[in-house]
Structure 1
């Protein structure tokens, strides 16, 4: 099953800059996971070591060994201290380095992946995950209540024994998951709430794409709005028009606002009969948009995608989703 999911997620690799751990969106809980990736052999153009941090469904920070520094991915993270993650030496100990030297190299990139993070639920309960993968397969996971490690591969047994002998290190891991990580989660959440305290109305625009002499596509864009809830519809001669209308899921921007677009296929001769209606809490009245010709206008991509090191980060996204899925559900 893991390999099937891994293969499916690989197809989504191009969108990883905006994809997030599944199950976060709309949840009453808040989470702060970090995804670590270590390449065992240098590869041209790729950082040997990288980290990406998320707050809930939003990428907030990135580090790689090429730049040597943690970079904020959202404006409000510039207020945070730079060193808020566990360093490479802590996460990838000598036991893993020694094990890597003993393993035969595989085709492609040999990688270590780690997912390390915490969750604060609405009822105040806390949880955390510290899980390792090797070349996209489960390897080791930390049981913070028992201060033990669970080996998923035979090669992990020796590492498990070594790490469990160091009880103080396991205790520090528990403290990080239950206290330090939770503290920073609350701090980041407060930064984001302050930044988004004021409701932001959408900015809208209608563009078009000519298919042929008999078919044209009108695209209505709404961006920069908060909160997420928005109603976007097409009208023809003032009446709602659902025929040939295509809707897209609302997408989170890197600054914490949202973006959405809807399109409609029309006869070019009827272009002036169509209007896009946007309704949002930030608007005192609906925003009504019509298409206007602009010389040199180019259709932008719906949202900017970022390239992340394929299989390694995909594995981490899947692991975070699986860990959250396995959490006990509240009884209502």
Structure 2
């Protein structure tokens, strides 16, 4: 089933956040993730209900309560129509059903929390992952007002309540053994099949590789030390391994590492730094490993070369300006 899933404008809790930011070291993993959000009232121009689907970090479909239909968000998903002409109609009907069910669930939660008025949100996120080591992962989680509410454990076929108000839901859903078995089967089989299909449709972008550009800069610190900053940018896919090495060995002391973040062109960038004694600068390298590279890159700080052409141009410019001013002064004196 290619039912549309979602990404809300809000975030669930810490567990979901970790799932979204999952980074694997080299060798690519791929994921199919869906997010949906229902809001008790319209707010800030957002629809009251929205469903968004992602393959890796590319949004490919969306449904919302304003349009009332599933719509493509990237060209390659149009390929599905050739072998599945009912794809858009079927998913639109399913999504409309999800919208109705979600609105009813949100109203039940408002009553359970004894709330009236204000904007409240009910969210769901689920999906699957093909990991670089061949293992398959999957998750299904709900949140209320930005907090974890209840999470599915597909290994035990049970639900974990994150709040007291979720205990009622847990007892009801734990008793639905057939429904839980289907959810496990969907995450481990059906979702993976759709992920593989989408990867094939979008292979020109989803399965491409672009090599990172690596540059090391430095800045002096107040205490006589200095910080080397390794800028790694323009790479795809997202999975990358980057470390500071000293004399060829991985070095952790005094290091900071940012998150892998997206660029506007669909590639990624990463920054990592290390604080060092300037006298040991030549012993440090930024080592980068990526699927696009045949072997690791070891990049050291290099002094910017002197641009003789630029300096000569500046000198000639100054000389020309002096001659021009001198000429003007002479003409002025002679005219007296």
Q: TM-score, normalised by structure 1?
A: 0.52
Structure 1 counterpart of 2:234: 224
SS at match of 1:34: strand
Structure 1 counterpart of 2:217: 207
Structure 2 counterpart of 1:9: 14
| Superposition map of 1:21-40 within 5 A | 21=20, 25=24, 31-40=31-40
Structure 2: gaps (5+ residues): 1-10, 81-87, 307-336
SS at match of 1:20: helix
| Superposition map of 1:1-332 within 5 A | 9=14, 20-21=19-20, 25=24, 31-44=31-44, 47-55=47-55, 58-61=56-59, 63=62, 65=64, 78-81=75-78, 87=95, 89-93=97-101, 95-96=104-105, 99=108, 102=111, 104-105=114-115, 109-118=119-128, 131-135=141-145, 136=147, 138=149, 153=166, 156=169, 181-190=191-200, 194-195=204-205, 199-212=209-222, 214-225=224-235, 228-230=240-242, 232-233=244-245, 245-248=254-257, 251=260, 253=262, 255=266, 259-267=270-278, 276-278=285-287, 280=289, 281-282=293-294, 286-292=298-304
Moved more, 188-197 or 31-40: 188-197
Q: Distance in 1 between matches of 2:138 and 2:250?
A: 48
Q: Distance in 2 between matches of 1:260 and 1:90?
A: 41
Q: TM-score, normalised by structure 2?
A: 0.51
**Which structure has the bigger radius of gyration?**
2
Q: Distance in 2 between matches of 1:39 and 1:220?
A: 42
Moved more, 42-51 or 170-179: 170-179
Q: Distance in 2 between matches of 1:256 and 1:289?
A: 24
Quote the offset at 1:149 in angstroms.
10
Q: Distance in 1 between matches of 2:54 and 2:192?
A: 13
Structure 1: gaps (5+ residues): 1-5, 295-332
User: As a proportion of its length, which structure holds more helix?
Assistant: 2
SS at match of 1:80: helix
SS at match of 1:42: coil
Q: How many residues matched?
A: 267
What is the RMSD of the two structures over their aligned residues, measured on CA atoms?
5.8
Q: Contact 2:30 / 2:131 at 8 angstroms: preserved in 1?
A: yes
Q: Deviations over 1:210-241 (max 9, x none)?
A: 54384442212122345624554367xxx889
